[in-house]
Amino acid sequence: MKHETKGMLVGFIGIFIFSLTLPVTKITVEILNPYFLCFARALLAGILAGAYLIYTKAPIPDAKQIRQFAIVALGVVFVFPLFINIAMTTGEASHAGVILGIMPLATVVAGVLLFHERPSFGFWMSALTGCALVCTYAYLNSEGGFRYTDLLLLIACAANGIAYAIGGNLSRTMNAKQVISWTLVLSLPVSYTHL
């Protein structure tokens, strides 16, 4: 299989799995406490990530990287999942899916502010148009106002955008699989103590 084809296949599988996040979360928060779900998921993922890092003999991050990992963990391991879990206790997965459509814009804005990335004018026009459509949908879908769940989802998007930008920056010096794995492993003390 060609490298490009393999990359497209892996990307498609990743998108498919991510598309299940909200419906599965909606079902799960009807059974489990949203806080427990957040920390239990992080604990399990952290244990598996630790096994991966040991198996691959990944180098240990330096002090500067660990500070960056702390910010990434705050966004992708704790704030994003917890706020999504809470939003799904009363919100609809389909509505949340549309709101989360602004996550790429949040990531790019964080990249611009933190790392001086310079996307093209065409990108900004497309992204802002998409964001305007998402906001219009949220407004119209909630009968002329925004919901509490919309605020939770926007905070989750912002936290995830910042974390993704910093994680992307870390992946310039470290394998991307190691970045997410170290993020999860370094989150283990918080995940374990908050169960």
> Which range of residues forms the domain containing residue 64?
22-193
* Angle, alpha carbons 45-159-127 (nearest 5°): 115
Answer whether residue 8 is part of any domain: no
d(CA 126, CA 111): 17
Burial of residue 193, with CB atoms counted within 10 A of its CB: 0-12 exposed, 13-18 middle, 19 or more buried: exposed
Question: How many of the other CB atoms lie within 10 Å of CB of 142?
Answer: 14
Give which of 69, 68, 99, 71 is closest to 83, Cα–Cα. Answer: 99
Question: How high is the pLDDT of residue 195?
Answer: 87
pLDDT per residue as tens digits for the range 93-152 = 988 988 898 898 999 999 999 999 999 999 999 989 988 988 888 788 777 667 899 899
Residue 17 has pLDDT above 80, yes or no: yes
What is the pTM assigned to this prediction? 0.90
pLDDT per residue as tens digits for the range 86-102 = 999 999 998 898 889 88
Answer whether residue 128 is part of any domain: yes
pLDDT per residue as tens digits for the range 21-50 = 999 999 999 999 999 999 999 999 999 999
The residue assigned the tokens 């009363």 is: 90
d(CA 113, CA 127): 16
Question: How high is the pLDDT of residue 110?
Answer: 96
Answer whether residue 138 is part of any domain: yes
Answer whether residue 16 is part of any domain: no
In the chain, the number of structural domains is 1
Instruction: Tell me the CA distances in angstroms from 95 to 70, 91, 148, 188, one per residue in order.
Output: 30, 7, 13, 31
Answer whether residue 133 is part of any domain: yes
Question: How high is the pLDDT of residue 3?
Answer: 84
Answer whether residue 32 is part of any domain: yes
Q: What is the 3-state secondary structure (H, E, C) of the chain?
A: CCHHHHHHHHHHHHHHHHHCHHHHHHHHCCCCCHHHHHHHHHHHHHHHHHHHHHHHCCCCCCHHHHHHHHHHHHHHHHHHHHHHHHHHHHCCHHHHHHHHHHHHHHHHHHHHHHHCCCCCHHHHHHHHHHHHHHHHHHHHHCCCCCCHHHHHHHHHHHHHHHHHHHHHHHCCCCCHHHHHHHHHHHCHHHHHHCC
Answer whether residue 17 is part of any domain: no
Answer whether residue 93 is part of any domain: yes
